[in-house]
Structure 1
Amino acid sequence: MTTNKLEQLKQMTVVVADTGDIDAIREFAPVDATTNPSLLFKAAQLPRYQSVVRGVVDWSKTQGGDINTQLINCSDRLAVDIGAEILKIIPGTISTEVDARASFDTQATLKKAYRLIELYEQSGISSDRILIKIASTWEGIRAAELLEREGIRCNLTLLFSLQQAMACADAGIYLISPFVGRILDWYKADTGRDHYPAAEDPGVVSVKEIFNYYKAHAYDTIVMGASFRNCEEIEQLAGCDRLTISPQLLEQLKQDNAPLIRKLDPARAEAATAKISLQENLFRWSLNENPMATEKLAEGIRNFAADQRKLETLLQQFWR
């Protein structure tokens, strides 16, 4: 019996829902789910979450502090409460993101991570069902390294280069989220090309390079492709450890009954690059030498920070 491409993909890759929409998660039945400030901002505007938003606003008022402190408490609690709702309907983990404004501050990242874990534990959810999502800056990787040593697993996001992936693997990070579509966006703008064949898509090529490097050098860090623009990118990465996919693309895969061919296999992985351990100076230099990674990392941090501010403005409207 022929199954759709989504079901075929699930046989070779762990499918993760890239959304905060409970209804979409229930429909596509992923193993794990991820959220970020952009997705939380969208989710907070959905009718089904209005009671949740009002509840976290009321709770934040009981925590004391000025309005800014209350807003921070409120947005943290909202992320956790939405994460807790998602965990009721998935068997795996939820990735909850640290405020992007802490991306260049190791101690601030640690403080936020501990706070999120604390709030989840207050909701009766143990840390083994949580991935703390952190930007793949040098400071973020150092914070994640410390968290991993304490048994708090992390998801390193906004990852655009093999060098970032190398540093994450050396730090013992549980999972990385190399972005695909945003890399394609950059190359289209830089070259003036409006189309790349799926196998030549620069984002696809980047994730394949990272996957093969990790498997060839026996790293345990999980590779989870993210930020897809189309189903062709997803199909080219079939067999990757995990793929986090938006509801729109999950639906397209579900409606397609054509055969899906496995493209990535740990048993056949060959690394084009020798195993390298990057010190801070080499890490920063490699980013400097990669304009795409430098620009997309900075842009991603700015955009997540902007959406965090939008979320706080939205939450402020519920104050009475």
Structure 2
Amino acid sequence: MSKFPNANLVEVIVEAAMVKLAHRMAPHLTGYSHLQTNPKYSFDTKRTLSNARRYVVISKDLDPSFDTAKLCIKIPATWEGFEACRELEKEGITSLATAVTSMQQAMLASHAGCTYIGCYINELRVHFDKLYEDKEKSFRTCGLSQRLYQTQAQGTQVVAASLTSIHEVMMLAGINHITVSPLLLQELDKTPADSWEGAIGSVFENTSSEAEDVDHGSIEEEAAWRLAFSMDQGGRSEAKLNDAIKLFSEKQESLENLVRSYI
């Protein structure tokens, strides 16, 4: 804790646990180990940056042989989060803007230099409330973001996430990266490819022409971006992000309470 005089002990213990988990998973990966910052700081650039930098320091302390260049820091896709991503990328720390559902977020992510965006097809809530259904899935944002990045030779890549069926997985065929749960992987494994009758790669239909019409005017100035984001899909994009942050924060609190029960 002497290295982090302004940090909370419980928070640092949670971070150390996350780093240890990432280290255990690393031998099974060919790419990055992902660590998400404390969601309670989603609207605080300074604290998010401190959190991300602590991850790197903790990783070096726990295992000096671990290549910290293999860490990717996941940060909720708020304006403050993007500012943190911008600074981290300048420092050589890879970032992923998570809980992206709108083109406003996708455009700002590339402008900030994010290595990845985590594009949520379904709201995060669908994984915690079995009766909830996202009726405004983010397929268009997912496909259009990748097409936009490619046509403009931008380095940001798309990670499709929050999927609920193998039909959604197949619709995303051709996406840069995809997060598929163990249950869906098992279902895919049991499904013959030669008899598949659903759509394959349909998220990229018509995205070439749409990419040319995307308005980039709201990403340079904070107030303009916030207004555009708050109005997107009648306010649903912002509501989805805020709900994801709420759910993330509840899980963070659960982890911190678990730590408190031991100390």
* TM bucket normalised to smaller: 0.7 to 0.9
Q: Does 1:281 align with 2:223?
A: yes
Aligned partners of 1:183 and 1:203 also within 8 Å: no
CA contact (8 A) 2:159 2:176 kept: yes
Residues of 2 paired with 1:84 and 1:149: CA distance?
24
Corresponding residue number in structure 2 for 1:311: 255
CA contact (8 A) 2:140 2:203 kept: no
Gaps of 5+ in 2: 127-131
How far residue 315 of structure 1 moved from its aligned partner, in angstroms, is 2.4
Pairing 1:139-178 to 2, within 5 Å after superposition = 139-178=80-119
Deviation at 1:264, TM superposition (A): 6.4
2:172 aligned to which of 237, 255, 263: 237
1:269, CA displacement in angstroms?
4.0
Amino acid at match of 1:99: N
- TM (norm. structure 2) is 0.84
> After superposition, what is the alpha-carbon deviation per residue over 1:206-243, rounded to whole angstroms, capped at 9, x for unaligned?
21122222222221101111111111111111110000
Larger relative contact order (C-alpha < 8 A, sep ≥ 6)? 1
Structural RMSD (CA): 2.8
Partner of 1:222: 157
Q: Is the 8 A contact 2:42 2:80 kept in 1?
A: yes
1:253 maps to a residue whose letter is: L
Q: 1:128 aligns with which of 58, 65, 69?
A: 69
Residues 136, 164 of structure 1: 8 Å contact kept: yes
The list of structure 1 runs, each at least 4 consecutive aligned residues, that deviate by more than 4 angstroms after superposition, is: 62-65, 193-196, 260-265
Cα distance, 1:272 vs structure 2: 4.8
State whether structure 2 residue 18 is matched by structure 1 residue 79. Answer: yes
User: CA 1:183–1:209 in structure 2 vs 1: closer, same or farther (change >3 Å)?
Assistant: farther
- 1:294 lines up with 2:238 in the alignment: yes
TM-score by length of structure 1 reads 0.70
Q: Secondary structure at the match of 2:225?
A: helix
Deviation at 1:316, TM superposition (A): 2.4
Q: Which residue of 2 aligns with 1:12?
A: none
Contact kept? 2:125, 2:243, Cα under 8 Å: no
Give aligned-pair identity as a percent: 25
Structure 1: 5+ residue stretches without partners: 1-59, 186-192
Partner of 1:43 in structure 2? none
Structure 1 residue aligned with 2:184 = 249
